[in-house]
Amino acid sequence: MKVVDLSVDVAGGFAARLMGGSGLRVVRPRGGGPPVPTGDDLLRVYLDAGKEHLPCPASPSGLVDAEDLVFLTFDRGAYIGLPAGWTVEDLPAGCVRVTTSSFGTTGPYRTWRGGPLADWAAGGYLGITGDPDRPPLIGPEHLCGYVAGYTAAIAAEAALRHRARTGEPQRVDLSTMESMLSVHQSTFSRLAVGIVRERTGRYTEVYPLVVRPCLDGYVSLGVVTDAEFDRLAIAVGRAELAADERFADAAARWAHRDALDTELDTFLGARTAEQAVAVLVEHGVAAAKVVGPYEVLRNPQLAHRGFWRQPAGRGGSGRMPGDPVPAGVTLGSSPRSDRRRAGRARHRGALPLSGLTVLDFTAFWAGPLATRWLADLGADVVWVERPGSRAEPGGTTQDLTAEVMRVFHRKMNRNKRSVLLDLKTAAGRAAARRLAAEADLLVENFRPGVMAAFGLGPAEMCALNPELVYVSLSGFGASGPWAARRSYGPTIEAASSVEGRTGYPGGEPLRLGHTLPDATGGLAGALAALRGLRDRDASGRGGWFDVSQLEVYAALCGEEILAASLTGQDPPRIGNRSRHGGVQGVFRCAGDDAWIAVRLAGRRDLERLAEVTGLDGLARAARTGPRDDAAAEALIAGYTATRDKHRTAALLQDAGLEAFAVLGPAELLADDHLRARGFFVTARPGDTLPGSPLHSEPPLVDPRGPAPRFGAHTDEVLGQFGLPRPEIAHP
């Protein structure tokens, strides 16, 4: 089997690159389609790393075999980028096809023109990023496509597994819109209890989970719990702040956030970013310097782990991210020929992972998202919870934060079973080892060393069960000078260069409206698990996958890091403008906080917009050079200011232009396109939450199952695995 990359979008190209990182041969036909996007050499260099470029035959039969995996791109109602004379119908019937697009191959938007700016608007992140009194703000231009690429690689692995189990080829339809909506952590959980997420600039719902200036730049602080705030107070030399009523708990710190800024700025303003981070990390506070693409190349953690690669064919110049999902490490001995699979996992029909058991030692966001993917794909996910780790209140509560977390639990832990074990006791650890001895996968997202301290580390568990696929998902990886550091999504966002490139022109770096490193880490964790299963099918042995969320997120910055390595400079923050040659922006429309995102890729788009709008100035701008982007933006802004965002987007799309209304959470929930594709699912009456972005027939996923009550399956699961009742820990 080989991977044939016929895609011409970032999502498909990155997914194919990820599959190549697993050892599969990836090929592209020469002349098979335009670069991504047209004229952007470095993006193409990054996406094509490790791929073979072969002569393009006259028909697919000269390149594509029935056992192959094929990535395709769909836009404006048709497959695009195929070599001349090729059609999708001519591909071999047995091959697995994964089609990526902005909006999908079905639904009202299937004929619309997609692209990187439309992806930001349609995926719900544009509307919640930026200052409340300024235009909504994008992050790095192609970030949404990269997130969809991780998702498409998961789809590919699942489809390959389905074919291996059933002999049936799969056709998967995956949109960037739904891929982005599926990685909102709590946007729709909050909406379910009546809280609408909006733009809040640099502020998060928790304080001080924030970026603040220092002597030579900016520092990202990761402080969420009261204990972390106590450590922060000691670190900045102000232990008395821990007893200050203004900062007594999370609600008080949020209410007095400006006063807290003043207290922290005294410490930060006297230190460089590196000095401040060193002190904070020494006191156990999650912190990172906000860096750009050039500075991230000097990160000691990434250097230690050998993350960087040199692009081929450029004379040894330049560096770019390597594989964010590293190969598994074999730790156990040869599989025991007499080992009897317990066969105790729940079977969920023909789903790809039905009959496999996942032992889930995860918490917070990244780890639970990884195991939720495995559960949606049919695995029997046994979630190991510790006594007292969460409450299970009855009825409703007036505490909206608690209500949000309950809805979030129903979203993040659907299709799982909950087992209660106290790993601080010998009985609890023994039960966990017995479960691991029979499991197919184990996923954990503790800091490195925690599982080993319980006797449940990868070396011990893979020796106990050589067929076990063990996935560790930590902030920075299990080795290197940063391995022991605490991390939160915003600190990884700062260290990766994503935050350093997000912001209004001339302004401070800004976080995304909802932090993404945990979500992309979860996608990479699921991908590592699926890759490990495919490796095990071939070799009979499991292995350990050491996944670093920093590496996973830095991989979304490939072309910008490569460019910075060649220029020796960090790019400035440019707001919503393009670094890739187009005229684009987010423009105000009629109504309260109403906006439209418009991207014009080149001269022809400018001329077409002039025809549709009657803006003669745009036609003149298209014919003269150098192009005056500010003048073009002013003309577009004047046109959209008095018009409805939805009707204007439809008008421009009818003219073949990339345009999309900036949608808020409630608008997305009511969107006709998403309803037609059945994206949202009802977890229980009143809870409408994102389902799965994978569309196929037969389905590869079932995202409709319930989340477990605390410890509800303890007796059932341990009994199934033959563990006596005395080993079962109860609350």
Which residue numbers are catalytic?
A: 518
Inter-CA distances, 235 with 164, 220, 230, Å: 55, 15, 9
496 with 469: CB under 8 angstroms?
A: no
Output DSSP code: residue 614: -
Determine how many CB atoms are found less than 10 A away from the CB of residue 239: 11
User: Largest Cα–Cα distance of the chain, in whole Å?
Assistant: 82
What ranges in 569-644 are assigned the alpha helix state H?
603-613, 616-623, 629-640
3-state class (DSSP) for residue 494: helix
CB-side neighbour CA atoms (13 Å) of 493: 28
Q: Are strands 217-222 and 210-214 parallel, antiparallel or unpaired?
A: antiparallel
Task: Return phi, psi of residue 515, to 5°.
Answer: -65, 140
Distance CA 95, CA 190 (A): 41
- Considering only CA atoms, which of 622, 557, 611 is closest in space to residue 583? 622
Element housing 191 (H / E): helix 187-192
Distance CA 435, CA 342 (A): 10
Distance CA 359, CA 434 (A): 11
Encoded amino acid at 382, one letter:
V
Helix, strand, coil in percent for the chain, rounding step 5: 40, 15, 45
729 with 422: CB under 8 angstroms?
A: yes
Inter-CA distances, 322 with 111, 150, 306, 353, 527, Å: 35, 14, 8, 28, 16
Query: CA quadruple 150, 153, 159, 161: dihedral positive or negative?
Result: negative
Termini Cα distance of the chain: 50
Query: CA quadruple 18, 566, 274, 222: dihedral positive or negative?
Result: negative
Phi-psi region of 246 (alpha: psi -120 to 50; beta: other; left: phi over 0): alpha
Output DSSP code: residue 695: B
- Considering only CA atoms, which of 105, 110, 111, 103 is closest in space to residue 88? 105
Determine how many CB atoms are found less than 10 A away from the CB of residue 298: 9
DSSP assignment string, 124-188 = TSGGGSS-TTS-----STTHHHHHHHHHHHHHHHHHHHHHHHHS---EEEEEHHHHHHTT-SSHH
3-state class (DSSP) for residue 45: helix
416 with 707: CB under 8 angstroms?
A: yes
Distance CA 519, CA 509 (A): 21
- Considering only CA atoms, which of 64, 66, 13 is closest in space to residue 35? 13
Distance CA 232, CA 238 (A): 9
Inter-CA distances, 249 with 228, 252, 264, Å: 11, 5, 17
